[in-house]
Structure 1
Amino acid sequence: MAASSPRQFLYALNPLAKVAGFAPAMILLVFVRDLATPAAFLVLAYALILLGARLTGRLLALLLLGLPAGMLAIGVGFSLWVDAARVADSVPVLRIGDWTLFSGALLIGFATALRLGSIVALALIGGLTTSGPDLVRASVQQLRVPYRIGYTALAAFRFVPRFGHELSVIRAAHRVRGYHGGRGPFARIARGWGYIVPLLAGAIRHAERVALAMDSRAFGAHPSRTERHLVPFRARDVVFTAAALVASAAIFLVFFPWQLP
């Protein structure tokens, strides 16, 4: 697990602690309909990420621009799709001909957007500060997931960046040989079909190398394996999980989004 400073404490936590701490809240947020509850979780998630993660330019753009823009688009879109008959008793906000946008539609749309945004933000707490190998190791070591499943899934997941690298090499080779096929959308489609065969050939070669490497290490020959890298579940992980559960319960109790009107 990567070393971290006290200001980047999320990287030092066990991946399962970050999942277990907020998984119940993410499930319950699906069923809330108010604005305050998801907004509180959104603020909590942002605070944890800003305090405990490495703030790269891409991460800041995602948090400060990408996620809010997505929530705004979802809120407006869902507001336009709401049946006007359901919210006809609320205050009209915008009229265009016979069409009227009511405040109740905006409330429903942005409540949905906040709900989805808070779920995504809570998922980013672990997603931005956890590597795939560490999550697999923690699942194998603490959850007793069979290593045959965990590491096979990890090997399959690592095919994705490999495909990207292979595709960039194939494109460069085609450009060197002057095979561009012209301009326009049909030419782009034709070039795409030309990438399929060499990409499949590269994928098969890579799969064979991975299979040989796993066989040479006796993968699957025994029910368990010795782990080179341990991902322990320490006392700080217990404290973080408990604190996350307590904070989530406190937010739900304070706002109690299921109370009857």
Structure 2
Amino acid sequence: MAGLLEYSEGSTLLHRANPISKVAFAVAVCIATFLANEYLTLVLLLALVLLAGVYAGVGKKAVSLLLAFSSLGALMFLVQTVIVRAGTPVFLWVTDRGADTGAHVALRLVTFALPLVLMLTVTRLTDLTNAAVEVLHLPYRYAFTITTALRFVPIFSYEMSRIVEAQTARGVEFDSGNPLRKLGLMMPLAAPLLITSVSKADDTALAAEQRGFYLRTRESSYKRYPMATRDYAIFSLCLVVIVLGAIF
């Protein structure tokens, strides 16, 4: 997941759009996902996000994310079929109402998560922080905290892979086919990962303080983030997406 959360260079409209308009598009798709009831609407919303990813040149990442979230969606579908017992039995414990509920939950989960992650691949976190402060008037410390948490996800993933590689070199068999045994082997690795995380967080806080973190204001950024015609077009698309999701 580390590579999937990193910024991908490009000069498309989505890359050049204001970070706030890109966030608005992702949020609009999420809102429409929860409002929509029809399968076709959910599939069209998912297709819209995938097309946006292909246009931005991150089609491979979009497909990789889709496959990853689809696995989680399949698990949620199975859970819903077990929980929802009402309706006519179809196969084993699965009822028609349980299958319908599970399919809706799985589609909503994938369509909800995909645009938020893809938005990060076409947006620099520094731009997102500065735009949130300048356009949304969000206090810098809050914007910095949110984007720093996002920035640390691939870092922690990389550190975890390094720890696993070190333990594998020492003879630990993480490729075990037994998921419970693999989970038992992974649990002790939480301690070194936690120690590394605390150390990096402390270093980051010290570096930010030395660079005048508490003195940052809306005017501190050397780059401005004005709204352009393309941003208003994206906002219009957001309104259309939400309305269609509410209707269908």
> Which of 4, 13, 30 matches 2:10?
4
Q: Offset of 1:16 from its aligned partner?
A: 1.2
Q: Secondary structure at the match of 1:220?
A: helix
CA distance in 1, matches of 2:195, 2:222: 33
Q: Offset of 1:201 from its aligned partner?
A: 7.5
Unaligned runs of 5+ in 1: 256-261
CA distance in 1, matches of 2:190, 2:25: 46
> Which of 192, 195, 214 matches 1:195?
192
Q: Offset of 1:173 from its aligned partner?
A: 8.4
TM-score calculated relative to the size of structure 2: 0.71
Cα deviation per residue 1:16-55 (whole Å; 9 max; x = unaligned)?
A: 1122234245235335444233222122222222223323
Q: Offset of 1:243 from its aligned partner?
A: 1.9
User: Does 1:15 pair with 2:19?
Assistant: yes
Please say which of residues 39-48 and 158-167 is displaced more in the overlay.
158-167
> Match for residue 224 of structure 2?
230
Output the amino acid matched with 2:74. L
CA distance in 1, matches of 2:127, 2:36: 32
Contact 2:14/2:122, CA 8 A, preserved across alignment: yes
Cα deviation per residue 1:41-94 (whole Å; 9 max; x = unaligned)?
A: 1222222222233234x443333x33334333432432232123xx13xxx422
CA distance in 2, matches of 1:168, 1:108: 36
> Match for residue 93 of structure 1?
90
TM-score calculated relative to the size of structure 1: 0.68
Please say which of residues 40-49 and 160-169 is displaced more in the overlay.
160-169
From the CA coordinates, give the structure whose radius of gyration is larger.
1
Cα deviation per residue 1:185-211 (whole Å; 9 max; x = unaligned)?
A: 7x9589748737xx738844x555444
CA distance in 1, matches of 2:190, 2:108: 41
> Which of 73, 77, 80 matches 1:78?
80
User: Does 1:135 pair with 2:128?
Assistant: yes
Unaligned runs of 5+ in 2: 1-6, 175-180
> Which of 214, 219, 225 matches 2:213?
219
Output the amino acid matched with 1:228. Y
Contact 1:41/1:122, CA 8 A, preserved across alignment: no
CA distance in 2, matches of 1:111, 1:77: 12
* Cα RMSD after superposing both structures: 3.9
CA distance in 2, matches of 1:156, 1:120: 17
Contact 1:76/1:109, CA 8 A, preserved across alignment: yes
How many residues end up aligned between the 2 structures? 235
> Match for residue 233 of structure 2?
239
User: Does 1:47 pair with 2:51?
Assistant: yes
> Match for residue 139 of structure 2?
146
CA distance in 1, matches of 2:198, 2:185: 22
Contact 1:38/1:115, CA 8 A, preserved across alignment: yes
Distance 1:167 1:124, change over 3 A: closer
Cα deviation per residue 1:79-110 (whole Å; 9 max; x = unaligned)?
A: 232123xx13xxx422x4xx5x3323222221
Higher-RCO chain (CA-CA 8 Å, sequence separation at least 6): 2
